[in-house]
Structure 1
C-alpha cells in the first residue's frame, strides 16, 4: 500500500563535460516502458546528457546488455527500464530477484546504473509509477545514473590506487 509520505529528491548533479547515457529497455509492457522512457528523456535533457536507447527481449536480458555496453567504453552511465507484474507462477520472483541482483553486481563493479525496472502487483501500479507526471520512476532512474556518473568522475580509478586500501 502506498503512503503519502513526502520523499526528498536530490537536485540533478553538476557534471563536468558531456555525459553519454544508454537506456536498456525491455518493452514487454510497451505502454509502461514508453512512459518510463519519457521520464528518462526529460531528465537526460535537463542534465544536458545525450541518450541512446536499445531494446532487449526481457528484464533478465537487461543486465547482460548493460554489461556488454559497459565493456565497450562508449557510455558513462546506464538506465535499466522494464516492468514485471506478478502473475500466477513463481516466474515473477525469479525475474525480479535475478535482474535486480545482476544489476546490483554491475553497480558494485563500478557501473553507473539507475534501476528503473518496475516490480509491481498490478498494471495500475505500474501505470502510476511509469507516468512522468506521476511517480516518474524512469526520471528517477536516470537521475540515479547521473548522480553515480558524477561520483565516478569525482573519484576516478587510477592504477596507483587500484587494489590498495585507504
Structure 2
C-alpha cells in the first residue's frame, strides 16, 4: 500500500478558549458531565480561565445557545452537554432528534468544532454509568474530542 498523506488532530492545546453549553435538566447527571469535561480540558492544558460555562433550561435549547455562543463569543470549540432520559411518551424522541439534528446543523455551519456530549439514555442507571468519574464519562470524551478537532481544523486550514 502506498503511503497516504494523513491529517490528524492532536490533543495538545495552548491558549484555547472553550465554552461548555449545558442543560440544567437532570442536574446531578449533567453536573457530573461538566466536571468530567472541565477536568479533561485542564488535564490537556486548557487554562481554567479559558473555560466558560453557559447553562440552558434543557436539551432542546442547547443548539440555539451553541449557535449564539459561537457568533458572540467566538470560542475555539464548544462542548454541548445534557442528559435526556426516556419517559412514557414520545417526547424523548422529539427532544433527542431536535437536539442532535440542531447541533449537527450548527456544527456544519460553524468554523469552531462542536462536540456532542448529550446523553440519550433509557434509564438513570445508564446515565450514571456514562457520567461517573472514570474514563466512561461522556463529558470527558466530548472535551477530548473538542481539543482534537480544534487541532485538526487548524491543520486543515
TM-score by length of 2: 0.87
**Is 2:59–2:95's contact at 8 Å kept on the other side of the alignment?**
yes
Give the paired residue count.
146
Report what 2:107 is aligned to.
Answer: 107
Report what 1:88 is aligned to.
Answer: 88
Report what 2:24 is aligned to.
Answer: 27
> Please, which runs of 5 or more residues in structure 2 have no aligned partner?
1-7
Q: Provide, for residues 92-136 of structure 1, a one-character-per-residue CA deviation record: whole Å limited to 9, x for no partner.
A: 000001100111111212331111100000001000101122511
* 2:25 partner SS: helix
Report what 2:128 is aligned to.
Answer: 127
Q: Provide, for residues 122-154 of structure 1, a one-character-per-residue CA deviation record: whole Å limited to 9, x for no partner.
A: 001000101122511100011111111111211
Aligned positions of 1:50-69 closer than 5 A: 50-69=50-69
Report what 2:156 is aligned to.
Answer: 155
**Is 2:22–2:80's contact at 8 Å kept on the other side of the alignment?**
yes
* 2:107 partner SS: helix
Moved over 4 A (4+): none
Q: Provide, for residues 34-84 of structure 1, a one-character-per-residue CA deviation record: whole Å limited to 9, x for no partner.
A: 110111011110122231111001101101011001012431101111100
Task: Output the aligned Cα RMSD.
Answer: 1.7
TM-score by length of 1: 0.82
The 1-side partners of 2:11 and 2:45 are apart by 11
1:45 and 2:42 correspond? yes
